[in-house]
Amino acid sequence: MTVKKIVEGVVIGFDFGLKRIGVAIGQTITQTATPVDIVNSKDGKPDWQHISQIFEQWQPSAILVGLPMRLNGEQQALTQPARKFGQRLSGRYNRPIYYIEEQLSSVEARTRVKNSSHNTPHNTSPQIDDHAAQIILQNWLQTEN
């Protein structure tokens, strides 16, 4: 028997990184997500003021954090820091926290952004962290909720 998560409304999703954290907002009714922002981190410490502004704006009912995993399913260096980040989010904003294992979301996001942005100068690389968060959140909405 599969137990479905009971989350309704707006869900905020994060693609954790030590320098940048992608943020997406999703809706359980439509099971869709949208990239919304990129939060900078300094020495692995997120800009909590920026994150608080996003929470105030969107009022999410739950939090999702992607757990970076190796292709073979084993943990990698960022897995535990991402889990710790999720625990801090849940504690600070008093929302339930969910995790989803993720691999290659940044590669997929880079491909999507590259294919959709013909006006990006060739010497700049678009930031894709928010698009990676969108992919992670949308996958979770469509499979877990």
**Segments forming the whole domain that contains residue 75:** 10-115+128-144
> Is the confidence at residue 6, as pLDDT, over 50?
yes
Q: Supply the mean pLDDT for the chain.
A: 84
Q: Tell me the C-alpha distance between 106 and 60, whole Å.
A: 23
How many domains are contained in the chain?
A: 1
Question: Quick one: pLDDT at residue 114?
Answer: 63
49 or 132, greater pLDDT: 49
Give domain status of residue 121, yes or no: no
SS3 91: helix
Task: Please give the full DSSP string across 7-51, using - where no structure is assigned.
Answer: --SEEEEEE--SSEEEEEEEETTTTEEEEEEEEEEETTEE-HHHH
Considering the domain boundaries, does residue 48 fall inside one? yes
What are the residues whose beta carbons fall under 8 Å from the beta carbon of 133, sequence distance 6 or more? Answer: 13, 14, 15, 21, 22, 23, 24, 33, 35, 66
32 occurs within a structural domain: yes
With 60 as the cut, is the pLDDT of residue 120 above it?
no
Half-sphere exposure of 115 (CA within 13 A, CB side): 7
Cα–Cα separations (whole angstroms), residue 32 to 16, 54, 94: 20, 18, 23
Q: pLDDT for 36-93, tens place per residue?
A: 999 999 877 899 999 999 999 999 999 999 998 887 878 888 899 999 999 999 999 9
Q: Which band of pLDDT confidence, cut at 50, 70 and 90, is reported for residue 123?
A: very low
Structure confidence at residue 39 (pLDDT)? 96
CA–CA gap between residue 103 and residue 74 (Å, rounded): 11
On whether residue 52 sits in a domain, the answer given is yes
pLDDT band at 115 (very low <50, low <70, confident <90, very high): low
In a domain, 75, yes or no: yes
Q: Is 120 inside any structural domain?
A: no
User: What's the CATH code of the domain at 46?
Assistant: 3.30.420.140
**What is the pTM (predicted TM-score) of this model?**
0.82
